[in-house]
Amino acid sequence: MAALEFVLLWGSLSTGLAYQWPKTLLSSINPLIGSGGPEPNLSGGMIPSVGPPFASTRWVAQNQANYVSATPFNYTELYATNGSVHGFQGTRQPAIWMGESAWAAIVPGMTSGSPEDIIITDFDARGLPKIPGTETFGVALYSVGLTFPKFGGSTVNVLMSASSRVGHLQFTFEKGPEDSSAPYLFLPTTRPTTIFHNPNIFETIYPNGTVQISPENNEICGSNTEMQDWIIAPDSTKEAASHFTGWYCARFDTPFPIYGVTQGNTISEKANSGSGEEIGAYAQFEFPTQSNTVTINVRIGTSLISADQARYNLDAETSSFDISKTRVATENAWAEKIGRFQVETDGSSAADSNKTVFLTGVFHAMQYPYEVHEPTLGTPRYFSAYDNAIHDGESYSGYSIWDTYRAEWALTLLLAPERVPGMVRSMLQDYEEGGWLPMWKNMIETNIMVGTHADSLLAEAVLKGFGGGESGSGDIQPTFTAKELTTIWEAAWKDASVPPHGDDSGVDYEVRAGLSTFFAEKASGKGWVANDIHSESVSRTLDYAYDDHAVAVLSTRLPSHIVEAHTPNLLQLQAQFYGDSLKQNNVTTFLNDRALINPWTVWNTTASSPAVVTGGEDIKGFVQARQRDGSWAAPTDGFTEGDRWVYSFAFVHDIGELVKKRGGNESFSKSLDEFFDGGWVDFTNEPAHHTPYLYALAGAATYTQERVREMAYINYNNTPNGLSGNEDCGQMSAWYVFSAMGFYPVNPVSVNLPVPPFIPPSHWSIAKNQYYDQSTKSYVLRIRAPGAETKPYVRSLRINGRVVEAWEEPLISHDEIRYGGMLEFEMSETAENWGGGRGAWTRNVTDYASPSAFHLNGNVEHVEL
Ligand SMILES: *[C@@H]1O[C@H](CO)[C@@H](O)[C@H](O)[C@H]1NC(C)=O
Ligand SMILES: *[C@@H]1O[C@H](CO)[C@@H](O)[C@H](O)[C@H]1NC(C)=O
Ligand SMILES: *[C@@H]1O[C@H](CO)[C@@H](O)[C@H](O)[C@H]1NC(C)=O
Ligand SMILES: *[C@@H]1O[C@H](CO)[C@@H](O)[C@H](O)[C@H]1NC(C)=O
Ligand SMILES: *[C@@H]1O[C@H](CO)[C@@H](O)[C@H](O)[C@H]1NC(C)=O
Ligand SMILES: *[C@@H]1O[C@H](CO)[C@@H](O)[C@H](O)[C@H]1NC(C)=O
Ligand SMILES: *[C@@H]1O[C@H](CO)[C@@H](O)[C@H](O)[C@H]1NC(C)=O
Ligand SMILES: *[C@@H]1O[C@H](CO)[C@@H](O)[C@H](O)[C@H]1NC(C)=O
Ligand SMILES: *[C@@H]1O[C@H](CO)[C@@H](O)[C@H](O)[C@H]1NC(C)=O
């Protein structure tokens, strides 16, 4: 919202000499945003890590041991002023409430060689105090100076950078005047670790691993079987996933005359290998005669395949021990994302701060899901924990889809189109190897959250052009083969039609648990997930309805012969749903009916809540859980990260009907007021994210303009506590990024900023498009909102020169900006009529250019702010 002028460039990832994107904005990113907070739920759960976009491992200074609810780095005032660093970790923990797996780490230390001065392995004991003022955070380089209290005056200066699968660190040890000590680098390889499982149990376990030391090659390699979330994987995948192993190979630029294996606190000097619990290895170095300093560079390759592959990754991604080369390569990778933005503000410090929140949002959003495939001479390959096998192809992990289907995926389609085919194929592989599309994949399915929103991801990707090439757009090159399109359909249709194994007892994969009671019988008056069988029943009912909508969209966008040939059981499901009377055999109609009928079965028209803040009549009509027999459960039952207030706004694919059910635009808007001002809104969790935009769909865009700023102000800022809730793989930030640009995908499968990376050079959007930029080979979307820093209201909008009249619905269509374009907002200090202003009911009819031109079309999408 600080955008005075805001330019977004996209496209252009293809051939030819790569454009050098500017790096200047990288220094505006604040990697500390979201790394602190009073407790795990009220923290971004992000870490100030280094590594390129979508990095396999991200490297971070550790100040606590990480596990579910604790990230490796937790910012506190105490840490900032007088903290200690306990090591440097390459982590794959994707979110604060998820587990770690296949990590690697390295810890500097010093010893005098006397018997009591041994390698310190214990996490707490090995911490080294920071030298005040030395710690710096960047996207590609972290640095810190540490002291050795037991060796007065001795220090180590650490630089840390990383490529996707390789940590690159430089340690410069300096000994104090009276020291004859020797520095070492310790590689903890297995550790006592904490796993979390039902019912709310934290348990310590001791994963096994191995270490191999090759002093002749200056190398230490190791393996570790830790995968904290294995415990919550579906039973059917547990055996295969139990073979999961992470590998690393560390190569030093300096020979190490002394080395050894550690196990717990036991040190075996000169041992070349070891295995088991709490295992580690160390390399000890000497200060050159006549010198008080020694600098050691180390590159640590990681792999999910083997130690050899870790070594291969090391050589493939980093060609030298010169850390500045690794840093520059990673900066260039970030510049390709961040440098696509040009944000101009009024230059005030408040505006600069907002700009930092915005750019850091892009930085967060472009980290997930993260790549787990590994390079070879030819096609990349990946280890799959679903079937304990190595396959050819690209694969990704860290899919928090219940969160990311809302806006993060839309942003990925826009900013990282080159990744989309691989990310989609990765989901298809999970389906083929594990039986279902992912829900929350953290190396393996974890059964966290509800719904099968991968359906939405697939539908949105296909809708935005990542399909097979459609009739009428023949010049768009197909992304997926007919076989892949078939798998896309089969997997989504399976979600929509097959209940999980054990649907009425303990499910294996959660997918659409309750589907057999939910979808079965409209004819006999059902249509909901029964609350006395399944937890989170209201959220499931609503989420499955939205997913049905997504699969319906998909059914219209895939080649019809594929859909017709691969929709088993349709007749039977229809007969069950409608009763026997209707046999139309049309999957689109069937899914649309389910999407538009079933969610309203949990709408209790007489349920009410006093309008405490807005006064007047009670707010009427709320979603409410229902039992198997149709009776209503308690109003507090059945919700996932929310309550009946926020879930009553969850009908994103049927907003028009929702507005009617709440009594029309005026009373619907008042219910939104009560939601925001009555203390019901909770932006720390995702179900609230689209709610500020709903006013605009009820003809009262002014309130959207105010609420979006209010939510941005309350929930985001440029400090370590600057995210009010968990980042959830980019969704918190994606909301901010879209909102600052001026719109939001309320119904993600209906609004698109399309990304056509497979457009041939002959396509008109390149050959004859004033918004195509030759030098950057990108489409340019220009968003102008002069004065937006202090003027929150919209007076007018022009899209590519076309005036969006005040009485029109404030919608921007996909086609208007899919190949770049120009949005020109005229801002105002006071509320305006544009987008319906404060609503027809509060204003003089004469204010309108054309009051009769109002029309109801609630179904879609986003607005401006
Ligand atoms: C960080 O550490 C502090 C101090 O131990 C703790 O109070 C806080 O809950 C932690 N924050 C997070 C997000 O874990
Ligand atoms: C917050 O954290 C607790 C555990 O401390 C968890 O049980 C609870 O579900 C979380 N709340 C939300 C809304 O995520
Ligand atoms: C800083 O922390 C160390 C422990 O790491 C402690 O001994 C020292 O007293 C602390 N100093 C201050 C000023 O708090
Ligand atoms: C580690 O190996 C030992 C010995 O084989 C075994 O008893 C233990 O269960 C293993 N630990 C884990 C976490 O699997
Ligand atoms: C299915 O119904 C939709 C309307 O809901 C229609 O557009 C489509 O053509 C129908 N498909 C078939 C195969 O009849
Ligand atoms: C709404 O729920 C209450 C119980 O909470 C129930 O008594 C009432 O009948 C429900 N209303 C409708 C229209 O079903
Ligand atoms: C409600 O608002 C929508 C969105 O602007 C508009 O299309 C519709 O005509 C309004 N309804 C009434 C009854 O004014
Ligand atoms: C900064 O963002 C807030 C919302 O967080 C907004 O209200 C304010 O106007 C912005 N300030 C500037 C100077 O851009
Ligand atoms: C309607 O117009 C009259 C006369 O201009 C003005 O006094 C009144 O405040 C207006 N009402 C609203 C709601 O704007």
Residue 647, pLDDT above cutoff 50? yes
Q: Whose CA is nearest to atom 1 of ligand 9?
A: 844
Q: Do residues 111 and 269 make contact, with C-beta atoms less than 8 angstroms apart?
A: no
Report how far apart, in Å, the C-alpha atoms of 367 and of each of 167, 211, 324, 727 are: 16, 30, 22, 11
Residue of 856 and 672 predicted with greater confidence: 672
Closest residue (by CA) to atom 12 of ligand 5? 586
CA of 15 to the centre of ligand 5 (A): 40
- Where is average pLDDT lowest: 68-82, 327-341, 571-585? 571-585
Atom 3 (ligand 3) nearest CA: 82
DSSP string, 110-152: EE-SSTT-----STTTT-EEBPTT--B--SS-EEEEEE-TTST
Distance between CA atoms of residues 497 and 510, nearest Å: 14
**Is the pLDDT score of 856 beyond 50?**
no
- Which tokens sit at 313? 């990754």
Q: What sign has the CA pseudo-torsion 19, 25, 27, 31?
A: negative
Compute the chain's Rg from CA coordinates: 28
Cis ω before 438 (30° cut-off from 0):
no
pLDDT digits over 701-739, tens only?
999 999 999 999 999 999 999 999 999 999 999 999 989
pLDDT in tens, 314-331: 999 999 999 999 999 999
- Residue 684 CA: which ligand 2 atom is closest? 13
Ligand 6 midpoint to CA 667 (Å)? 21
- Ligand 5 pocket, 556 CB below 6 A? no
The pair of structure tokens assigned to 126 is 């090995």
> Which ligand ends up closest to the CA of 203?
4
Provide mean pLDDT across the span 570-594.
Answer: 88
Q: Which residue has the higher pLDDT, 451 or 615?
A: 451
Confidence band for 750, pLDDT divided at 50, 70 and 90: low
Q: Identify the pLDDT of residue 747.
A: 64
Q: Which atom of ligand 8 is nearest to the CA of 354?
A: 1
Ligand nearest to the CA of 712: 8
How many angstroms does the Cα of residue 680 sit away from the middle of ligand 8? 23
Closest by CA position to 357, among listed 788, 842, 802, 713: 713
Contact 154, 175 (CB under 8 A): yes
Mean pLDDT of 470-475: 53
* Confidence tier at 221 by pLDDT (50, 70, 90): very high
How confident is the model at residue 41, as a pLDDT? 97
Tell me which of 482 and 760 has the higher pLDDT. Answer: 482
Angstrom distance (rounded) from CA 707 to CA 673: 10
Of all residues in the chain, the percent with pLDDT exceeding 70 is 91
According to DSSP, the β-strands at 603-609 and 444-445 are unpaired
In this model, does residue 754 exceed pLDDT 60? no
Please report how many Cα atoms fall inside a 13 Å half-sphere around the Cα of residue 561, on the Cβ side. Answer: 3
What is the average per-residue pLDDT within 757-766? Answer: 76
Spatial separation of the C-alpha atoms in residues 808 and 246, rounded to whole Å: 56
Which residues, 6+ apart, have CB-to-CB distance to 279 below 8 Å? Answer: 189, 190, 208, 209, 210, 211, 222, 261, 262, 263
- Residue 343, pLDDT score: 84
- The per-residue pLDDT for 764 is 83
Percent over 90 (pLDDT), the chain: 75
Sheet holding 293-303, edge to edge: 142-147, 155-162, 166-174, 293-303, 246-252, 219-224, 208-214, 273-277
pLDDT score for 850: 29
> Nearest 5°: phi and psi at 678?
-85, 5
Q: Is 842 in the pocket of ligand 9 (CB under 6 A)?
A: yes
Q: Which two tokens stand for residue 141?
A: 């380089």
pLDDT at 847: 41
What is the pLDDT, as a whole number, of residue 283? 97
Ligand nearest to the CA of 242: 4
> In the prediction, which pLDDT does 139 show?
98
Could you tell me which residues come within 8 angstroms of residue 572 by beta carbon, excluding any fewer than 6 positions away?
none
What pTM was estimated for this model as a whole? 0.94
What the block records as the tokens of 505 is 């007892």
Distance between Cα 277 and ligand 2 center (Å): 31
- Whether 584 shows a pLDDT value over 80: the answer reads no
- What's the confidence (pLDDT) of residue 846? 42
As a whole number of angstroms, the distance between CA 802 and CA 681 comes to 36
Q: Is 641 in the pocket of ligand 2 (CB under 6 A)?
A: yes
Mutate to test the pocket of ligand 2, among 39, 41, 68, 440 (most ligand atoms within 8 A of CB): 41
Contact 426, 395 (CB under 8 A): yes
What pLDDT is stored for residue 514 in this prediction?
A: 92
Digit-coded pLDDT (tens) for 377-426: 999 999 999 999 999 999 999 999 999 999 999 899 888 999 999 999 99
The answer on pLDDT for 23 being more than 70 is yes
- The residue whose CA is least distant from atom 14 of ligand 4 is 207
712 C-beta closer than 6 A to ligand 8? yes
Ligand 6 pocket residue status of 609, Cβ below 6 Å: no
What per-residue confidence (pLDDT) applies to 307?
98
In the reported structure, the alpha carbon of residue 584 is separated from the centroid of ligand 5 by a whole-number distance in angstroms of: 10
Q: How confident is the model at residue 473 (pLDDT cuts 50, 70, 90)?
A: very low
How far apart (Å, rounded) are the C-alpha atoms in residues 334 and 29?
A: 11
Buried b (16+ CB within 10 A) or exposed e, 300-331: bbbbbbbbebbbbbbebbbeebebeebbebbb
- The band of 484, judged by pLDDT with boundaries at 50, 70 and 90, is very high
Residue nearest to atom 12 of ligand 3 (CA): 82
Distance separating alpha carbons of residues 548 and 815, to the nearest angstrom: 25
Best residue among 194, 224, 277, 279 to mutate for probing ligand 4, ranked by most atoms within 8 Å of CB: 277
CB 416 within 8 A of CB 54: yes
User: Which conformational region is residue 480 in: left (phi greater than 0), alpha (psi within -120 to 50 degrees), or beta?
Assistant: beta
d(Cα 562, Cα 555) in Å, to the nearest integer?
9
Cβ of 589 less than 6 Å from ligand 5:
yes
Per-residue pLDDT tens for 656-707?
999 999 999 999 999 999 999 999 999 999 999 999 999 999 999 999 999 9
- Give the rounded distance of the alpha carbon of 817 from its chain centre: 25
User: At a CB cut-off of 8 Å and minimum separation 6, what does 592 contact?
Assistant: 548, 549, 552
> CA torsion 221→223→229→234, rounded to 10°?
130
Please tell me the number of the ligand nearest to residue 75's CA.
1
Compute CA 401 distance to the chain's CA centroid, rounded to the nearest angstrom: 8
Tell me which of 713, 717, 737, 741 to substitute to probe ligand 8's pocket, judged by most ligand atoms within 8 Å of the beta carbon: 713
Residues 824 and 784 sit within 8 Å (Cβ to Cβ): yes
Residue whose CA is closest, atom 2 of ligand 2?
Answer: 41
CA–centroid distance, 271 to ligand 4, in Å, is 22
Residues 6+ apart with CB under 8 A from 679: none
CB of 636 within 6 A of ligand 6: the answer is: no
What pLDDT does residue 17 have? 59
Q: Is the CB of 627 under 6 A from ligand 6?
A: no
* Residue 66 parent element (H or E): none
88 contacts: CB under 8 Å, gap ≥ 6? 59, 60, 61, 62, 105, 106, 107, 158, 160, 167, 169
Q: Are 230 and 193 in contact (CB under 8 A)?
A: no
And the tokens for 778?
A: 């990108």
- Give the domain ranges of the chain: 47-324, 355-750
Burial letters 590-623, b for 16+ CB under 10 A, else e: bbbbbbbebbbbbbbeebebebeebeeeebbbbb
Condensed to tens digits (0 to 9), the pLDDT of residues 591-602 reads 999 999 999 999
Predicted confidence band at 13 (pLDDT cuts at 50, 70, 90)?
Answer: very low
Three-state DSSP string of 616-685: CCCEEEEECCECCCCCECCCCCCCCCCCHHHHCCCCCCCHHHHHHHCCCHHHHHHHHHHHHHCCCCCCCC
Pick the CATH number of 47-324 from 3.10.20.30, 3.40.50.300, 2.70.98.10, 3.65.10.10: 2.70.98.10
For range 355-373, the mean pLDDT: 97
Res 763 pLDDT > 90: no
Rounded average pLDDT over 474-483? 84
Task: Please report, for residues 534, 618, 633, 663, the alpha-carbon distance to residue 605 in angstroms, rounded to integers and kept in the order given.
Answer: 23, 12, 14, 11
Which atom, in ligand 5's list, is nearest to the CA of 560? 13
Q: How far apart are CA 777 and CA 19, in angstroms?
A: 8
CA nearest 415: which of 356, 341, 467?
341
Contact 687, 647 (CB under 8 A): yes
Q: Tell me, rounded to whole angstroms, the distance of Cα 785 from its chain centroid.
A: 28
Alpha-carbon 457 to chain mean position? 13
**Is the N-terminal amide bond of 183 cis, ω within 30° of 0?**
no
Average pLDDT over residues 783-803: 90
CA atoms within 13 A on the CB side of 10: 24
pLDDT band at 469 (very low <50, low <70, confident <90, very high): low
* pLDDT, mean over the chain: 90
The confidence score (pLDDT) of residue 530 equals 93
Which of 668, 855, 856 for mutating ligand 7's site (highest number of atoms within 8 Å of CB)? 856
CATH class of 355-750: mainly alpha
Give yes or no for residue 859 having a pLDDT over 70.
no
